[in-house]
Amino acid sequence: MVEMNMIKSLNSALEVQLSKDKNVVIFGEDVGFFGGVFRVTDGLQKKFGEHRVFDSPLAEGGIAAIAMGMGLNGLRPVAEIQFADYIFPAYDQIVNEIAKVRHRSGGEFTAPLTFRTPAGGGIKGGHHHSQSPEAQFTHTPGLKVVYCSTPYNAKGLLASAIECNDPVIFFEPKRCYRGPFYGDPHNVPTWSGHPDSDVPEEHYTVPLEEARIVREGSACTVIAWGTMVHVSEQAIKDSGIDCELIDLQTLVPWDRDTVVNSIKKTGRCVIVHEAPKTSGFGAEMSASIQERCFYHLEAPITRVTGWDTPFPHTTEWDYLPSPARIAEAIKKTQEE
């Protein structure tokens, strides 16, 4: 075990995969010589050569299409989209091509590939460096959608994503690259000393499709992913209520059993995500939960989310779900 922040653990995952499988190639904007604007691919070009880790032209649509072509012909590309906000020129390739090729070709062709992309707010990134567009991909059959939250699960989930024969959209909460974020912009710790910063240097996987119970509890189930896992952890502390916290980790296909079993125990549920509420993934979960837990629910399922507005710059702390908003929602579930 070595102490790593999320940037180092993702880098380690990529290094292990490049060593293990000669068909893995990495490319994207600024990922080669420079090692990525967030330094996730630092040192990989030097170690594995310029044809395995390289800078691409600045064109996300091109990056996606080239990755698909490589995947069709036997490679296992891991492409970086520099910010999730910039994935949309690639949307046609992802939604109409990459997600559907296995099905449309009767299973003859597949495109096993991973798009890594930093997502989420909390870095004063304004409209276009803050969005969390997971729901725009969970609504597309054929894609697996993953959202890591700690150095440990980042490395293990990325390994699973790369080894997966389906295309995976892999979201990295950029606010948590260097430390967990508990909702206080004036007090941002590093990963140092956090139990989830102990990361094996060697290969391991965290399975896709399995949620992680961060904290066991009996009074309310709180479900989150990405940065909101840590913000929710703080909110639970602040509320003083014995909540069970579930880090969903994989959104498609999500670990419904773990969630349903938890809610059958607690009878209450708060879903937290930073993306806007309308058609957010919380809506899908909420519908599924009531289908299966209706007679166990003691209170309405509540969502605490980003607002149905563009992500702001100056006022981002009023946009992102805060520990206070989440704690209030938790308390409200106890009143019913």
Partner 1 sequence: MTERVTATTKPYTIGRPPFRPGEDADFGGKFTEQPGDLNRPDPLTCSAQDTVPHSTGLVRVLDDNGTASGEWNPMLDAETLIQGLEYMMRLRIFDDRMIKMQRTGKLSFYMRSFGEEAIAIAQTMALETQDWIFPSYRQPGAQFVRGRDMVSMICHCIGNTEDNVKGRQMPVHYTWKPGRFISISSPVGTQFSQAVGVAMASAYKGDDEVCISWLGDGTSAQGDYHYALNFASTFKPPVILNVVNNQWAISTHANLATGGRTFAERGLAYDIPSIRVDGNDFLALYSVTKWARQRAGAGLGATHIEVYTYRAGAHSSSDDPSAYRPNEEFKHWPGGDPILRLKEHLIATKLWDEKRHEALAKKIDDEVMASYKAACEFGDLASGPYPPASTIFTEVYETVPWHVQEQREELGK
Residue ranges in contact with partner 1 by CB under 8 A: 29-30, 32-35, 37, 50-51, 54-55, 57-59, 61-62, 85-86, 88-89, 124-129, 277-278, 307-310, 312-315, 318-319
In the complex, least distance from residue 287 CB atom to partner 1, rounded to whole angstroms: 17
Selected catalytic residue, list 80, 97, 129, 233: 129
Q: Distance between CA 32 and CA 48 in Å, rounded?
A: 10
In the complex, least distance from residue 120 CB atom to partner 1, rounded to whole angstroms: 16
Q: Is the dihedral of CA 17, 58, 63, 120 positive or negative?
A: positive
Q: Are 217 and 243 in contact (CB under 8 A)?
A: yes
Q: Which is nearer to partner 1, 43 or 141 (by Cβ)?
A: 43
How many alpha carbons lie under 13 Å from residue 124 in its C-beta half-sphere? 2
Q: Which is nearer to partner 1, 252 or 320 (by Cβ)?
A: 320
Whether 60 sits among the annotated catalytic residues: the reply is yes
Q: Which is nearer to partner 1, 14 or 161 (by Cβ)?
A: 14
Hunting for tokens 């989150």 — which residue is that? 224
* CA end-to-end distance (rounded Å), the chain: 45
Closest CA to 266 of 244, 291, 294: 244
Q: Is 160 helix (H, G, I), strand (E, B) or coil?
A: helix
Q: Which is nearer to partner 1, 104 or 128 (by Cβ)?
A: 128
Beta strands in the chain (DSSP E): 2-3, 24-28, 53-55, 76-80, 114-119, 144-147, 168-173, 198-199, 212-215, 220-224, 243-247, 250-252, 269-276, 302-306
Q: Which is nearer to partner 1, 84 or 223 (by Cβ)?
A: 84
Whether 129 sits among the annotated catalytic residues: the reply is yes
Per-residue tokens: 123: 């870095």
> What are the beta bridge partners of residue 304?
272
Q: Distance between CA 13 and CA 36 in Å, rounded?
A: 15
Report the run of H or E that residue 72 belongs to, with start and end.
helix 60-72
How many alpha carbons lie under 13 Å from residue 70 in its C-beta half-sphere? 21
Selected catalytic residue, list 60, 134, 172, 274: 60
Q: Distance between CA 308 and CA 80 in Å, rounded?
A: 27
In the complex, least distance from residue 28 CB atom to partner 1, rounded to whole angstroms: 10
Hunting for tokens 């009531």 — which residue is that? 290
Q: Which is nearer to partner 1, 130 or 249 (by Cβ)?
A: 130
Q: Are 310 and 221 in contact (CB under 8 A)?
A: no
In the complex, least distance from residue 154 CB atom to partner 1, rounded to whole angstroms: 21
Residues ≥6 apart with Cβ < 8 Å to 269:
220, 221, 222, 223, 263, 286, 289, 293, 297, 301, 302, 333
Q: Which is nearer to partner 1, 85 or 166 (by Cβ)?
A: 85
Active site (catalytic) residues: 60, 129
